[in-house]
Amino acid sequence: MSACGFSSQHHSPANAGSPQAGVFAPQASSTESARGHPAVTFTLDLEYHRDAAACASRVVANTLRILDFLESMQVRGTVFAVGRVARAQPALIRTAAAHGHEVACHSLDHRPIDQADESAFRADTATAKAMLEDIAGVAVVGFRAPVFSMTPRTPWAAGVLRDLGFHYSSSVMPAASPLYGDPMAPPHPFRWISGLVELPCPVARLGPLVFPFLGGIYLRYLPIQGLQALLRRRAGTGLWTYCHPYDVDAEEGLVRFAGAGRVASLLLSLNRRRTFERLRAVLADGAAPPLAERIAAGEFADAPDYVPGRAPDAGAR
């Protein structure tokens, strides 16, 4: 057994030919957990949060800790991997796939969508998809935009993803955000005019505040009772939680994140010891399966259509 609880054969590239033979029994697609709140899929954004030379070993170690945690919970989830990270760490992708997790695409190099034109986005995403499929040995059907950067400024993105063979996207922040957000977007699953299903970032409403309560710093700072209360209040389906390898790295210390000020960097660097505790509270007694399995099971077959810049169809909000 390895230090993180996996036998060495699961880390070996020799097993890449059968990555779907995971160690977990399939999770039944369910919209409600045993605790009475909507079931939640675990998702991981596998990326370098700073220069690769400075953090690559930490990303690998902490991703393995997360996979070990999921194994202990008997939970399978979706790993959105950046293509260049996957190319640098192929054994990590194969390990995730071998344990029954879905491998999905998180762009080629973690560049926000609006920093490229349609042609460059198409080429880069096709490259990343092919790279991940070659490494994992499975079809890649899910996409998540870096920093939820699918907005009305990139109306062509959903069509490109559909053309490339993706079945769903998980790329929209349906709230105002200092980075990227579309407050007009439905907060529940919807369908782009291209036919691509969108599973937007789950948000909670407290008075005038709308925030992504199941991921990032919100997951780390909200009390467990608060998280569970917000889950019980959350109507609809399509819930997922998200984290990054750095979210569980309590030993890294203070990091200055690119594009973030001092306060934001401080918040992103603290409370990391609480991440597993909060994930356990959210996922216990009824985690939903990987997102691709929920799509394939038809859970979102009736998702309403949405055109950016227009009011969503009735029932979408």
- Residue 307 in any domain: the answer is no
> How many C-alpha atoms does 188 have within 13 Å on its Cβ side?
18
C-alpha 47: how far from its chain's center? 11
DSSP string, 234-299: --SS--EEEE-GGGG-TTS-----TT--HHHHHHHHS-GGGHHHHHHHHHTTT----HHHHHHTTT
Reported as type and span, the H/E element at residue 42 is strand 41-46
Question: Angle, to 10 degrees, between the axis of helix 52-73 and the axis of helix 90-98?
Answer: 10
User: Would residue 310 count as lying in a domain?
Assistant: no
Average per-residue pLDDT for the chain = 84
Cα(3)–Cα(6) distance, integer angstroms: 7
Domain assignment present for residue 182? The answer is yes
Domain CATH for 122: 3.20.20.370
User: pLDDT value at position 68?
Assistant: 98
Least confident range of 34-38, 187-191, 227-231: 34-38
Structural domain of residue 169, as residue ranges?
Answer: 36-296
Q: Cα separation of 95 and 27, whole Å?
A: 19
Instruction: Compute and round to an integer the Cα radius of gyration of the chain.
Output: 18
What is the pLDDT confidence band of residue 141, given thresholds at 50, 70 and 90?
A: very high
Residue 9 inside a domain? The answer is no
Number of domains the chain is built from = 1
Task: Determine, yes or no, domain membership for 75.
Answer: yes
Residue 102 lies in a domain: yes
CA angle (70, 76, 78) in 5-degree steps: 105
Q: Does the residue 27 lie in any domain?
A: no
Query: 13 near 91, Cβ under 8 Å?
Result: yes
Rounded mean pLDDT, 158-181: 95
| pLDDT, average across residues 57-82 | 96
CB atoms within 10 A of CB 197: 24
In this structure, is residue 81 part of a structural domain? yes
pLDDT tens-place string over residues 201-224: 999 998 889 999 999 888 988 999
Q: What percentage of the chain has pLDDT greater than the value 70?
A: 77
Among residues 107, 115, 160, 164, the alpha carbon closest in space to that of 132 is found at 107
pLDDT tops 90 at residue 44: yes
